[in-house]
Copies of this chain bind each other. A is one copy, B any other.
Amino acid sequence: MTGSHFSLAQLFADGLPAPAPRWTGFAKYNFIGGHNAPERIPSEGLAAAAGAALRREGASLALYHANGPQGLLALREVVASKLGARGIKADADEVLITSGSGQGIDLVNRLFLNRGDSIIIEEFTYAGALTKLARLGVKAIGAPLDSEGLEIEPLARILANLKREGVTPKFIYTIPTIQNPTGSILPRQRREALLALSREYGVLLFEDECYADLTFEEGAPSALYALDKSRVVHIGSFSKTLSPALRLGYIVAEWEVLSRLIALKRETDSGTGAIDQMAAAEYLGRNFDAHVKGLTGALRDKLATMEEAVAREFGSAVEMWRPKGGIFLWLKFPDGFDVRRLQGPAEKRGIVFNPGPEWAAAGEAAKSYMRLCFAYPSEEEIREGVAALAEVSFAETGIPQLSANIGRAGRSL
């Protein structure tokens, strides 16, 4: 082989994802992903917190992790404390700080899953969880959701059928408190039923509480982990309550499981970013409740704005799953409608949204669903963006025919 015509691409491994495109910035009407409300980032509070922590314990940055591989003790204490509101009694030793809850999912997957295994997942769920499972060669079986979350009877039938086929799914991955993308909260009785199924079928419950701190009303039932630690691994995040850019999540589990996850994290990275941890611990240690209360209020206002805009612009053409917290609105277009037809034209108008198939175990079958994040855009951008999306939709599909009870065709003239 000579130097001419040589390309390193000749040496690439198998099964790579497509190359990333050049970065060109964000869309004007940004309804995708898990971005947060920029006006609620406590910049001044974080600046003071980072400064105080660095001045007090900056020399500890000479070590990979001053408090051991589980992460900064002060941040684990914040986690343990806030879990109290979820009914969980845990101390800092039961917590592993992760580089975002995505790493939490990777670690739990690695601990329990072999290629060819099966797991059960909510029919609509976090896209990242689905892509990670697909990469691992794991079969993800969708279980139906209603407006309160996982439906117990169909889930029991799925487990019974799998047992007849000789299949024991390794876990049920569930987002019981502010489900992603539907925003539901699983009632206490269903939580108990879920644990009963876990006992009956020897299956782990993998509980993702990424959004659980962002409920609009108080009184959500206790976390599954609070009800039975021996059958549940619990993960959560500060991405939603503080900032997605900080990459701070956590896993809570009993030591038999946690000691394995710590060992697996050490194979993955050499710890989670220290100043991120210090700033978050110093700030949230004093301000968690007040900060989350302010953020949740702002999110609730933005949701109201988006629900109004969707109702005004799309009328009866879409159904909304009204979320009980969080940052997403899950929409259902008429059966047969494919939201992906809108993506290209919408992007030309500066509008981006998440198409249903990426958020669904059945993929293609969810083509009439759409997820809109209402946290990042301003209320004005929400109104303008939803209106523009309805215009795009009408132009492409003839739906919605009505806008604010006025014929759209007429309005377009």
Which residues on A are within 8 Å of B, measured CB to CB?
Answer: 1-3, 6-14, 16-23, 25-26, 33-44, 46-48, 50-52, 54-55, 58-70, 93, 99-100, 102-103, 106, 110-114, 117, 131, 135, 170-171, 199-202, 204, 230-231, 233, 243-248, 254, 256-257, 259-260, 262-264, 266-276, 279, 375-376
Is A65 in contact with B17, judged by CB distance below 8 angstroms? no
Known pairs A1-B202, A6-B231; A244 contacts B263 (CB<8 A): no
Given that A62-B37, A63-B26, A99-B99 are known contacts, is A114 also in contact with B14, CB under 8 Å in the complex? Answer: yes
Q: Which residue of chain B has the shortest Cβ distance to A280 in the bound complex?
A: B275
The minimal Cβ–Cβ distance linking A49 to chain B, given in whole angstroms, is 9
Given B43, B63, B231, B266, which contacts A244 in the complex, CB threshold below 8 Å? B63
- Are A244 and B62 CB-contacts (below 8 A) given A102-B270, A279-B50? yes
**Which of chain B's residues have a CB closer than 8 A to the CB of A59?**
38-39, 41, 43
CB distance from A381 to the nearest CB of B (A): 13
Are A23's CB and B243's CB within 8 A? Answer: no
Contacts A39-B59, A47-B50, A50-B275 given: A11-B64 contact, CB under 8 Å?
A: no
- Beyond contacts A20-B260, A33-B64, A46-B61: 9 other A-B pairs, Cβ-Cβ < 8 A, are A1-B201, A8-B204, A8-B256, A16-B260, A16-B264, A19-B262, A54-B279, A99-B247, A274-B276
A240 vs chain B, min Cβ distance (A): 11
User: A109's closest neighbor in chain B, by CB?
Assistant: B13
Using Cβ atoms and an 8 Å threshold, which residues of chain B touch A20? Answer: 69, 259-260, 262-263, 266
Closest to A17 in B: B263
* Cα-based distance from A376 to B60 in the complex (angstroms): 11
Q: Which of B11, B41, B112, B200 contacts A11 (CB 8 A)?
A: B112
Nearest CB in chain B: distance from A74 CB, A: 14
Complex Cα gap A296–B1 (Å): 42
What residues of chain B lie closer than 8 Å to A68, measured between beta carbons? 23, 25
A168 to B164 CA separation, bound complex (whole angstroms)? 49
Structural contact, B44 and A62, CB atoms closer than 8 A: no
